[in-house]
Amino acid sequence: MPSTSDLPSTFYCTKSIDFSKAVDSSTLKDKSVIVTGGANGLGAGCVTAFAEAGAYITVLDINEENGNALASALTEKGYHVQFTKIDATSFASQTAGFKSAISFSPHSTLDLVLCAAGLTGLGMNAWLEKVSKTPDADPSPPSTATIDVNLTGLFYSAHLSLYYFKQTAKLGDKSSKHLIFVSSLAGYVALDKVADYNASKFGVRGMWKAIRNANGILGEEGPGFRTNLVAPTFIRTQMTAAIEPGLLAMGISLGEIEDVTAGVMRLACDESISGRAIAIAAREKMAGDRNFDLGDDWEGLDAGRETLDKIRDGTLHSLELVGGGQGNKYDRGNMFRGEDGNVIS
C-alpha cells in the first residue's frame, strides 16, 4: 500500500466513515433542510427520512404535481414539509426556492442542503444515427439538458447553500452547516458512451473536491461547514425504469431508494463525517449494508483502490461501471436512447 505519511499537511485527508456507529436521527430535529429534486426517486426518499426525524424540509423541484403530493402526504402525517417549484437551471428560480425555505424554517435559517435534482443522459450511439448523408447538411446542436441540470444547476445550488448558510447563521450555532452532493458511481468510472451524464457527475465530484476541506469557509465567526458526497450505483427509480430490464438481463442488481437514504442519513446525522464520499451499493440483506467509504482522497488514491477492490469482491459489478464494447450486447451506448432521441428524464 503506498504511504502518504511524507505528504505536506495541505494534502489533507479526513477520517474514513465508521459504519458501525448508530445513526442518531434526533440530531435533525427542527433543522432547516432543502432537497433539490425531492419530488421523486431518491430525493423523495430522503425527504421522507428527514421529515420523520423532525426536520423542516423544503422540496425544490420542477415536478409540481409530485412535489405537492409528497408535501401534502407528509404534512397530513404531522411532519413539516413544503413544496416550492423551481427550475434548477435558473439561478433566479433557485434563489426564490432557497428564500422560501428560510421563511419556512422555525429559526429563519438554513442548515442542510441535499442536491439531488438530475436527469439521465443520452447515449452517443443515438447521436450518430442522426448524421445526414447530405454533404452540406449541418449538425443540430446536441442537447445540453443533462449538463444544465446536473452540473450547472448543482453549481447554483452549491453557491446558494454557502451564501445562505453564512447569511442566516446564528451566533452560537452548535452544529455545522452541511452540503451533500449527489454524484454517482458514474462520477468515478466510465459510464460507457453516455458522455453528458458521465461529464456532469465527474463535474459534481470536482466541485465537491474543491470545497471538501473548507471547514472554515463561512468565516471565523461563522458556524463550521462540512460537505460530503453520495455516489449511488443504479437505483430503482423512474430514472432507471427504461434500462432496468437490460441491467437485470446482464445480472446487475439495482439498489433501492432505502440504500441511498441509509447513506444520506448517516452523513446527515454524524457531525464527525466531513469531506467523505460514500458509495451506495445494492444491498445484500438490509438497506445500506453494502455502502462504503470510497476513500476519495490522497490516501485512497482518489477512490481507485476501493472501487477496484469492490469490483473484485463483487460488491459492485464491473460491467455496471465500465460498460462493454460497441456492437455487443453489453453496449451501454444503446441503453440510454431516450424517446425520439431526447433525454430520458
Ligand X SMILES: NC(=O)c1ccc[n+]([C@@H]2O[C@H](COP(=O)([O-])OP(=O)(O)OC[C@H]3O[C@@H](n4cnc5c(N)ncnc54)[C@H](O)[C@@H]3O)[C@@H](O)[C@H]2O)c1
Contact residues: ligand X, CB under 6 A: 37, 39-43, 61-63, 86-89, 116-119, 149-150, 182, 184, 232, 234-235, 237-240
- Is residue 183 annotated as a catalytic residue, yes or no? yes
Query: In angstroms, what is the minimal distance from the CB of 147 to ligand X?
Result: 12
Query: In angstroms, what is the minimal distance from the CB of 277 to ligand X?
Result: 13
User: For ligand X, which is the closer residue by CB, 119 or 199?
Assistant: 119
What whole-number distance in Å separates Cα of residue 247 and Cα of residue 277?
25
Catalytic option among 105, 157, 183, 184: 183
User: For ligand X, which is the closer residue by CB, 119 or 218?
Assistant: 119
Maximum Cα–Cα distance for the chain, whole Å? 68
Phi, psi of 304, deg, nearest 5: -60, -40
- Is residue 197 annotated as a catalytic residue, yes or no? yes
Residue closest to 190 by CA, chosen among 330, 284, 328: 330
Please state at what angle helix 154-167 crosses helix 91-104, rounded to 10 degrees: 40
Catalytic option among 31, 177, 193, 201: 201
Cβ-based burial of 93 (10 A; exposed 0-12, middle 13-18, buried ≥19): middle
The answer to whether 91 and 152 have CB atoms below 8 angstroms apart is: no
Residue with cell 466541485: 207
Chain CA centroid to CA 257, Å: 12
User: For ligand X, which is the closer residue by CB, 13 or 287?
Assistant: 287
User: For ligand X, which is the closer residue by CB, 218 or 294?
Assistant: 294
Query: In angstroms, what is the minimal distance from the CB of 41 to ligand X?
Result: 2
Query: In angstroms, what is the minimal distance from the CB of 257 to ligand X?
Result: 7
- Residue partners of 60: CB distance under 8 A and separation at least 6: 34, 35, 36, 37, 38, 84, 85, 86, 88, 94, 97, 98, 101, 117
Residue closest to 320 by CA, chosen among 329, 309, 311: 311
* Separation in Å, CA 183 to CA 187, 208, 209, 260: 6, 9, 12, 12
Closest residue to ligand X, Cβ-based? 41
Catalytic option among 156, 197, 200, 310: 197
Query: In angstroms, what is the minimal distance from the CB of 137 to ligand X?
Result: 31
Query: In angstroms, what is the minimal distance from the CB of 150 to ligand X?
Result: 6
Q: Which three cell numbers stand for residue 216?
A: 472554515
User: For ligand X, which is the closer residue by CB, 106 or 206?
Assistant: 206
- Is residue 29 annotated as a catalytic residue, yes or no? no
User: For ligand X, which is the closer residue by CB, 54 or 142?
Assistant: 142
Catalytic positions: 183, 197, 201
